[in-house]
Structure 1
């Protein structure tokens, strides 16, 4: 198991401790899996890409170390002198 610290934003902002793919894996070359393009059955056109994870890595193995705070979004209305419309009036 090769651990690293990452920042995640879903389902909430946090620092997590997670596993990494084996760097010398002969199947994936340390990338953790392969992208596989697929097409529409009837037309043969490109329809998307799927991710096939490698056996050397479990991408679901992670632990939350530190939940991070969520900062409220600022409203952008005309009464806000820093984020709203430009005004010539002094703030006080």
Structure 2
């Protein structure tokens, strides 16, 4: 979406994030990341309860189950989304180099 703002207004990334539409696109991305974090924490709590793990023991569960699996998958999706949305812009920029 940020690329759409850049393309539609023929402006740089820096200029795009200073527009209302650009800020909205970045906010959406940040909210998505926050949503992932919230659900990862919820998953950790539920998983710890199911496995009857409490206290600091749930931290290793967090690393093993969430950071290495669920969190990585979710962040990969965000990276794919960002890459897809900015691919044309950066391809054009690279061609000009």
Instruction: Give TM class, smaller chain.
Output: under 0.3
Task: Choose 1 or 2 for highest CA Rg.
Answer: 1
What is the TM-score when the length of structure 1 is the normalising length? 0.23
Higher relative contact order (CA 8 A, sep 6+): 2
More strand by share: 1
What is the TM-score when the length of structure 2 is the normalising length? 0.22
